[in-house]
Amino acid sequence: MMINLKGRNFLTLLDYSPEEIRYLLDYATILKENKKHGRTFDLLKGKNIVLLFEKTSTRTRSAFEVAGYDEGAHVTFLSNSQFGKKESVEDTAKVLGRIYDGIEFRGNKQETVNILAEESGVPVWNGLTDEYHPTQALADLLTIQEHFGNLKHKKVAFVGDTRNNVANSLMIACAKLGIDYAGVGPEELSPDKKILEQAKKIATESGSEIIITSDIAKGVENADVIYTDIWVSMGEEDKIAERINLLLDYQVNQDLMDKTGKDTTIFLHCLPSFHDNKTTFAQMVEDKFGISEMEVTDEIFNSDQSLVFDQAENRLHTIKALICATLAEEPNRIFEKYEKTN
């Protein structure tokens, strides 16, 4: 039977079955192909979507906006509202739920996105919290699937701050889809025990392996994907000295890539990335700590193995699939239309 996600929230990948995640990847693949051929189907015609941002964004905001516009929705970007200042999450949720058909939230607490979902009565999509970044994981999976042709028996090694939002969602995504996952970083930055236990339990069911290790050689051995993220997430900038100290040995460079033992390994990064000194923050780090590359060297970031911009583009197609699947009146019309046009 065809999967139907109409009306569902997207708060964490823990709420989605492997079949539902695969369905979203298939959906995104069709939408991507459609866009390439200039085909859109007004799947979101008449829908109004609001994007509520507490934290900054380039990709997530752009992807949600263009995804909505491409399929006929109207989109509001709300970054300077009463929310969090004069109005509670509950009241904001009730108001936005009366006006909009779907809500995207990016911010600090996972609890906020949960309350928005409970109180608004419309689908709510998590565009990043301190704990999770599930729409990022969809784009990551699509990029890996496109490159290798499938996700079977692949190994992903996330190197660096293995307890951050991107790593948490990637670990859960891998566990769900039977991909081996290694979190490679210092013990001080190990994942939250509860999230790790949940991922390990899911991995047992899917037949994959989850390991967390501080041993780089062991962690990256045989990896098909080396993934990293910035050393200080949004809101943690004051921890930079401590993170440099903990993570410098875990920089993704040629030496680390060689340790996979494979010449087919790809490099992924959710972006933004500190691979050079071309930002004010990176310049401050260079002046103060004398390093001009942080989590990844410029060489690896710009190498043929690096698929970071394909991955960034895939944010659009996967987010569009998510909005259409959860909000369109007839979400599965896309599969019939695809059959007819191909």
Question: Where do contacts with ligand NVA occur on this chain (CB under 6 A)?
Answer: 164-166, 229-230, 233-234, 270
Nearest to 125 by CA among 300, 271, 324: 324
Residue 201: which residues within 8 A CB-CB, separation 6 or more?
none
The type of residue at 161 is D
Residue closest to ligand NVA (Cβ): 233
Decide whether 57 or 318 has the Cβ nearer to ligand CP: 57
d(CA 182, CA 92): 39
Decide whether 100 or 227 has the Cβ nearer to ligand NVA: 227
d(CA 186, CA 332): 44
List beta partners, residue 75: 49
Q: Is 37 a catalytic residue?
A: no
- Cβ at position 250, least distance to ligand NVA in Å: 15
Please report the DSSP string for 245-299 in residue order.
Answer: HHHGGG-B-HHHHHTT--SS-EEEE-S---SSS-SHHHHHHHHHHS-S--SB-HH
Contacted entry of ligand CP, ligand NVA, none for residue 164, CB cut-off 5 to 8 Å set by kind:
ligand NVA
Query: Token match 């004010």: residue?
Result: 280
Tell me if 227 sits within 8 A of 198, measured CB to CB: no
Decide whether 217 or 284 has the Cβ nearer to ligand NVA: 284
Residue 73: which residues within 8 A CB-CB, separation 6 or more?
44, 45, 47, 48, 49, 323, 327
- Cβ at position 129, least distance to ligand NVA in Å: 9
Catalytic residue among 59, 70, 130, 136: 136
Decide whether 112 or 136 has the Cβ nearer to ligand CP: 136
Tokens at 238, concatenated: 């004051």
Catalytic residue among 8, 270, 275, 324: 270
Q: Name the H helices within the chain.
A: 18-36, 59-70, 89-99, 110-120, 134-148, 165-176, 193-206, 216-220, 240-247, 254-258, 280-289, 298-301, 308-327, 333-341
d(CA 273, CA 294): 8
Contacted entry of ligand NVA, ligand CP, none for residue 58, CB cut-off 5 to 8 Å set by kind:
ligand CP
- Cβ at position 55, least distance to ligand NVA in Å: 7
- Cβ at position 7, least distance to ligand NVA in Å: 27
Tokens at 215, concatenated: 């041993």
Decide whether 203 or 252 has the Cβ nearer to ligand CP: 252
Q: Is 315 a catalytic residue?
A: yes
Q: Is 136 a catalytic residue?
A: yes
- Cβ at position 312, least distance to ligand CP in Å: 7
Catalytic residue among 59, 61, 133, 269: 133
Decide whether 53 or 250 has the Cβ nearer to ligand CP: 53
Q: Is 270 a catalytic residue?
A: yes
Tell me if 48 sits within 8 A of 74, measured CB to CB: yes
- Cβ at position 231, least distance to ligand NVA in Å: 9
Catalytic residue among 61, 106, 275, 317: 106
Contact footprint for ligand CP (CB under 6 A): 57-60, 128, 136, 270-271
Contacted entry of ligand NVA, ligand CP, none for residue 233, CB cut-off 5 to 8 Å set by kind:
ligand NVA
Contacted entry of ligand CP, ligand NVA, none for residue 165, CB cut-off 5 to 8 Å set by kind:
ligand NVA
Which residue numbers are catalytic?
106, 133, 136, 229, 270, 315
